[in-house]
Structure 1
């Protein structure tokens, strides 16, 4: 059993390490070899590993085929789609996951036929009231999903795989073909949601109640998410594995009571398990069968069978079997944070139970603990939270870049309250939805039970601690020492602990500080953001775009700086006032408190960016080449142009150009005819209005970098501009094709690393880029 489950789990997980999908004959050969080994050696692991790896690749191949059905270039067509998520009528929503019903247009290379197996991310600004199950006839602009790829931050391509989404459709409003609601049936889940919404609509904690009842977090604001993150309780205020287990327990108790009134037949021993699974399955259905609920359902099924048949399995056997089955059901769940957090947390709890023989006191799962031993119970609960705090460090750092230091305190209080009071009240309120007086009272009591929790987590704002990559050795050192200390007695393993301490100390022996510096041209879509890093200090040139509800600075710039361990900027330079360059300056100023700020327009708190000024920073010299004077509102021609080089004027140099146009280029070169640079940021994203022959011939760059998105309304960069740089022997790179571009500059040369070619090379990445 162990070999089978382990082989299946590792086989499906092998998909995570593939940069391309091998041909099928590789796996056919592996299966045949494993069969021979199984016949002679009775080794189950290799056989099931090869089978599951083959199935994982088949699923990946099918996914890529569905993606290839989406046209490479944005295409206008009309399709019918079904809304696949529950919608809160009170919350405006523009991004919706939908399933294609059929394609309204005839098949052609530009208008492919899509079927019900295609899932799309629908972008519908100002959408009408939508319901799950509705079918809409929509004119859309269809395209593949190309995300921004950086060393940190949100990854749209990975998210699309985890959700099995194949493309993106933007609704177009055309008089000739308006959106049309077709005859369809609203789902029962949406009807139950609307019914519950009518009860909780005026309650202060309605967003949390809907999250606990239906797994719908659309009502949570940014402030709510901040409080949940800082307190470490985000897992609790939604339908999680713990809540499915509580639903199973509730149903089990109902079955036990019903069994007392039935004849003592052997087949009735299964009644508690069946009623428990019915309640747990219904609750998981309400959540939309998310990854944590599927894991919990599988474990509930096995626990129910084992308890009923009086068969004993070890905890880790149960977890490993659930892991294998979860991956079999959805191989792409390995790209979801909820998958790893769910299984990792359960693994920590199992490890905690194994360590109990070295603790005094009883195991927290011992049912014999009475009210007289409440102190022992709370002590064990505190120990569990401490274990989770320490051992969850790697997984939380990997996915979220930090950890909540207040999580143990918050969860000691919140877990018992939510688990024993709020969730049962929510379950009872759902069961009595069609009895308004009873259901309304239960919803109100559930809302009141959340008041101390919501009020309490607000006091924990700021308890989130960001972990940088520089702390990786310390992080793993703490984990290794902690686990070995808990599982192995110190008195019997002294030399092991001495070895661990020595290895950990050696890990911290750092190489001498190198004189090189880095320029990071971030992939921010159509816009610009450039980080210059040296000695763990940073200068930011432009901040990318922003929209009504989000900014590139929040999803890209801040996560990258947090990963690097940089909490304050030395300099912030805004080239000009266009939103795609200055959209995040307010957020950056609030979060990173730059010591000096430069701008080419008159703005309070900013130093003037005009020709002739220069400053030294970390052994580099920043020289402003343009504009000649400040203006009241800086447009493209007034962009702040800066030349960066070592202070001794040795080594490669960089020219940051903003969005200057041809006239600004010529005027700048007229006042600085000897200006040159080895690396140039292509002016105005590669527009035809910039990068004149004179500019390129004078600057003589060996590397030209354009910051733009793959899909943009202006078709930038222009092919003629790209050819103009390449014809003069320069290397051309664009963030739209390469993702984040990192240039490491030393005293004599520079090295270029692009994210898509070096780090983000997974099989699902668009290889046509």
Structure 2
């Protein structure tokens, strides 16, 4: 059974790596080959068993089970993916306006722009109920009033819809994979009412509608409102909401950063630990009451054993908690594991715990084959597997010592050693996964978890749950007091963790490659052996993981990374020993920015903690929006810009004593043989009213390699001025001026630059319609190769004496769930 489940996992993982789903004919061909190989292994195993070669026969049976499981996982995942792809919105729905009625089937999330929620269409319309949409309902520009809507309400909307589309960056959040796993077949926005279309006014049709899922979401929303009203102005009220109902979006970004850096971010929501702890407490209470027959003379244990009652009651309590959390995938994984463990215990008493884990793995993957795409899946199953492996052979001896000891102090000491050993096994065992997934090692994690796990699991979470229940069934003052106590404990924990984090920050590492990860994972098998020589070998196997340097260009080469930040500009420029950023991406309407969401995670995954410089071309929010986050997140040697001295960014940088150099034409410097020259602005445009006219234009050239020209947002007047001055514009790579707007990229300018490649950093279906169709065509008519981030994702260019080469994120990491690129 264990081999079959391991093969099933491998088959599911293999399918999720495909760029396109195989046809059923291909699946039948490959499946027949695997099935034939499995049958051959079974036949050979029978022959070997007849010859009494039992060890070899067992190995062949395990191999046959592994192959059968792999085939089953592949076919099952392919079937589920085909079913979901058939409901996805196709290209014919892109940017299409439709009128739909349906039910709000999730908790509405309040943002600075308005509301976000999942919308399930009613039957009998242009979209079926299976084609769920993730909608944004923004407040109107003429009004500051945010729209108001609640879960389980039926509404009629005019919508502009399309297929899910997100940014595509290395080490970035894959929104399209998340939407596909959540069974969201499209997205869109509520179209506001206009004079030309007065029937587009959003209309509420019913206050209570939808099925059990929508009504559960309404109950959770009401509970969230009560908790927030009971804790007005409390800084960690969002964390308590997350612990009670699993809604994490109310947690502040700074809190996420602190707790993740300390290695306890998994405790900020309804995690497997909380569900298991609640199930254990409820099961122990139910078992104790059943064992005492509820203090009656019924002799209930004679009818059904108390351990079975405890296990079933624990599973029921866990199921209720999971429903309260909205039945999200991470909570469901824990529930499946508990149910599998309970069934195995009730049906097969002596079943090994590893078989129980295998059953739980199968129970998770059957309803959700996309669980393997989440970090929580690997961390949760990895932690359990490590505990089983590290504790094998020790549990029985420890229990025997506990029964022989008469002193409670010595018993407590043995238990403390067991807990410390388990914590150490999880901490050290998950190091490869931490570096692979998060590009960091939290040195504070063992100490922070030792403090936070009992405090949150046994203190904060029970108090928060009791407080939430009291708000529903008891006087409000009772629930508010319990919630205040939970908040006080959480606040004290956060203050202590912040002090510890200032002393012991996380160790940032480049994101692990698969060879280093595999080497370290094999070394883990020797880490927990009692032989000290084996442990030394394990530590040696870890060295490639923790000592790998950050990648950098070869001598004489340059890397240019145009990140997919939406409608904005952000480029990382790297030579052999130096790095700088040209622009920092946009500030997003949600209140976040590209520095927080894209640039810092990418730099962290690369192991880059310092930049030699940063250039902000001009003051527009799509170029300078992420600069403040970058100034706080990485060490900067200097920064250049064309910003006014009164600009808030310059004031903030001055407070941090960060050197600033105004951009001026004629400034030059050299890094590793590459010459950096600023061509604009000159004194003619130094005081221009429009910030676009003052954009910093940077040319990067080398004696033996192609040159680059980064033009910012200059327009036709500045292009003509550069031509009149005789500026050295010729370059093989051109960052299209002003994202390809109609006011830039004049023909004389392009003829003077003579680029081979033009880069367009633009947002998907941006409201400015950049690049304009005629400008896009103009580049093609001049024979210029064009690349754009909204269609191809992040673009990596490598320049050296041999020329230039380009790689796009979507082409190099294409998956079957991604929205197809729009043809030109």
TM superposition score normalised by structure 2: 0.84
Please tell me whether residue 745 in structure 1 is matched to residue 764 in structure 2.
no
Q: Secondary structure at the match of 1:132?
A: coil
Cα deviation, residue 221, structure 1: 1.2
- Larger mean CA deviation between 7-16 and 445-454 belongs to 445-454
Q: Which residue of 2 aligns with 1:591?
A: 633
Cα deviation, residue 21, structure 1: 0.6
Q: Which residue of 2 aligns with 1:540?
A: 581
Question: CA 1:434–1:498 in structure 2 vs 1: closer, same or farther (change >3 Å)?
Answer: closer
Q: Which residue of 1 aligns with 2:714?
A: 660
Give 1:386's match in structure 2, choosing from 394, 404, 424: 424
Cα deviation, residue 10, structure 1: 2.0
Contact 1:78–1:104 (Cα < 8 Å) also in 2 = no
Please tell me whether residue 636 in structure 1 is matched to residue 649 in structure 2.
no
Structure 1 unaligned residues grouped into runs of 5+: 106-112
Q: Distance in 2 between matches of 1:364 and 1:293?
A: 36
Q: Distance in 1 between matches of 2:586 and 2:545?
A: 42
Q: Distance in 2 between matches of 1:591 and 1:750?
A: 31
Q: Which residue of 2 aligns with 1:100?
A: 120
Question: CA 1:563–1:718 in structure 2 vs 1: closer, same or farther (change >3 Å)?
Answer: same
Contact 2:762–2:770 (Cα < 8 Å) also in 1 = yes
Contact 2:709–2:729 (Cα < 8 Å) also in 1 = no
Question: CA 1:286–1:495 in structure 2 vs 1: closer, same or farther (change >3 Å)?
Answer: closer
Contact 2:263–2:448 (Cα < 8 Å) also in 1 = yes
Q: Distance in 1 between matches of 2:594 and 2:547?
A: 39
Q: Secondary structure at the match of 2:204?
A: strand
Cα deviation, residue 329, structure 1: 0.8
Cα deviation, residue 680, structure 1: 1.0
Q: Which residue of 1 aligns with 2:50?
A: none
Question: CA 1:202–1:496 in structure 2 vs 1: closer, same or farther (change >3 Å)?
Answer: closer
Cα deviation, residue 247, structure 1: 2.4
Contact 1:537–1:566 (Cα < 8 Å) also in 2 = no
Q: Distance in 2 between matches of 1:452 and 1:313?
A: 43
Q: Distance in 1 between matches of 2:332 and 2:748?
A: 63
Question: CA 1:394–1:438 in structure 2 vs 1: closer, same or farther (change >3 Å)?
Answer: same
Q: Which residue of 2 aligns with 1:178?
A: 201
Contact 1:97–1:121 (Cα < 8 Å) also in 2 = yes
Cα deviation, residue 677, structure 1: 0.7
Give 1:202's match in structure 2, choosing from 230, 243, 262: 230
Q: Distance in 2 between matches of 1:283 and 1:364?
A: 36
Q: Secondary structure at the match of 1:611?
A: coil
Deviation track 1:164-208 (CA, whole Å, cap 9, x = no partner) reads 222211112105122222214272453355247536633344323
Q: Distance in 1 between matches of 2:811 and 2:94?
A: 22
Give 1:679's match in structure 2, choosing from 725, 733, 741: 733
Contact 1:161–1:335 (Cα < 8 Å) also in 2 = no
Q: Which residue of 1 aligns with 2:617?
A: 575
Q: Which residue of 2 aligns with 1:485?
A: 527
Cα deviation, residue 550, structure 1: 0.5
Aligned residues: 756
Question: CA 1:486–1:275 in structure 2 vs 1: closer, same or farther (change >3 Å)?
Answer: closer
Please tell me whether residue 284 in structure 1 is matched to residue 316 in structure 2.
no
Please tell me whether residue 140 in structure 1 is matched to residue 159 in structure 2.
yes
- Larger mean CA deviation between 164-173 and 468-477 belongs to 468-477
Q: Distance in 1 between matches of 2:228 and 2:118?
A: 27
Q: Which residue of 1 aligns with 2:386?
A: 348
Cα deviation, residue 294, structure 1: 1.7
Please tell me whether residue 459 in structure 1 is matched to residue 459 in structure 2.
no
Contact 2:612–2:636 (Cα < 8 Å) also in 1 = yes
Contact 2:560–2:571 (Cα < 8 Å) also in 1 = yes
Cα deviation, residue 713, structure 1: 1.4
Q: Which residue of 1 aligns with 2:353?
A: 315
Q: Which residue of 1 aligns with 2:54?
A: none
Cα deviation, residue 716, structure 1: 1.9
Q: Secondary structure at the match of 2:610?
A: coil
- Within 5 Å, give how 1:270-419 maps onto structure 2: 270-309=308-347, 311-354=349-392, 356=394, 370-419=408-457
- Within 5 Å, give how 1:555-634 maps onto structure 2: 555-603=597-645, 606-629=660-683, 630-631=686-687
Q: Which residue of 2 aligns with 1:191?
A: 219
Q: Distance in 1 between matches of 2:671 and 2:774?
A: 37
Cα deviation, residue 119, structure 1: 2.1
Q: Distance in 1 between matches of 2:731 and 2:714?
A: 16
Cα deviation, residue 532, structure 1: 0.6
Q: Distance in 2 between matches of 1:637 and 1:510?
A: 36
Question: CA 1:745–1:355 in structure 2 vs 1: closer, same or farther (change >3 Å)?
Answer: farther
Contact 1:240–1:292 (Cα < 8 Å) also in 2 = yes
Q: Distance in 2 between matches of 1:164 and 1:182?
A: 25
Q: Which residue of 1 aligns with 2:654?
A: none
Contact 1:577–1:634 (Cα < 8 Å) also in 2 = no
Q: Which residue of 2 aligns with 1:765?
A: 818
Q: Distance in 2 between matches of 1:347 and 1:392?
A: 11
Please tell me whether residue 701 in structure 1 is matched to residue 714 in structure 2.
no
Cα deviation, residue 655, structure 1: 0.6
Q: Distance in 2 between matches of 1:505 and 1:451?
A: 34
Please tell me whether residue 23 in structure 1 is matched to residue 31 in structure 2.
no
Deviation track 1:256-286 (CA, whole Å, cap 9, x = no partner) reads 2135424457653343333222111101111
Q: Distance in 2 between matches of 1:643 and 1:424?
A: 60
Q: Distance in 1 between matches of 2:550 and 2:167?
A: 35
Question: CA 1:263–1:168 in structure 2 vs 1: closer, same or farther (change >3 Å)?
Answer: same
Contact 2:341–2:360 (Cα < 8 Å) also in 1 = no
- Larger mean CA deviation between 201-210 and 49-58 belongs to 201-210
Q: Which residue of 1 aligns with 2:96?
A: 75
Cα deviation, residue 518, structure 1: 0.7
Cα deviation, residue 141, structure 1: 1.4
Contact 2:568–2:622 (Cα < 8 Å) also in 1 = yes
TM superposition score normalised by structure 1: 0.89
Q: Distance in 1 between matches of 2:116 and 2:460?
A: 29
Q: Which residue of 2 aligns with 1:109?
A: none
Contact 2:791–2:821 (Cα < 8 Å) also in 1 = no
Question: CA 1:423–1:642 in structure 2 vs 1: closer, same or farther (change >3 Å)?
Answer: closer
Contact 1:80–1:104 (Cα < 8 Å) also in 2 = no
Question: CA 1:474–1:190 in structure 2 vs 1: closer, same or farther (change >3 Å)?
Answer: same
Question: CA 1:299–1:618 in structure 2 vs 1: closer, same or farther (change >3 Å)?
Answer: same
Contact 1:470–1:565 (Cα < 8 Å) also in 2 = no
- Larger mean CA deviation between 622-631 and 247-256 belongs to 247-256
Cα deviation, residue 20, structure 1: 1.0
Q: Which residue of 1 aligns with 2:128?
A: 115
- Larger mean CA deviation between 401-410 and 525-534 belongs to 401-410
Deviation track 1:267-323 (CA, whole Å, cap 9, x = no partner) reads 533433332221111011111122232222122123223334561232322222212
Q: Distance in 2 between matches of 1:586 and 1:722?
A: 33
Q: Distance in 1 between matches of 2:403 and 2:667?
A: 72
Q: Distance in 1 between matches of 2:595 and 2:553?
A: 32
Q: Which residue of 2 aligns with 1:258?
A: 290
Structure 2 unaligned residues grouped into runs of 5+: 43-63, 140-145, 209-213, 651-658
Q: Which residue of 1 aligns with 2:142?
A: none
Q: Distance in 2 between matches of 1:53 and 1:472?
A: 22
Give 1:450's match in structure 2, choosing from 484, 490, 493: 490
Q: Distance in 2 between matches of 1:502 and 1:673?
A: 51
Deviation track 1:718-763 (CA, whole Å, cap 9, x = no partner) reads 23323322333322111122111111111241211111112x2111
Give 1:690's match in structure 2, choosing from 731, 740, 744: 744
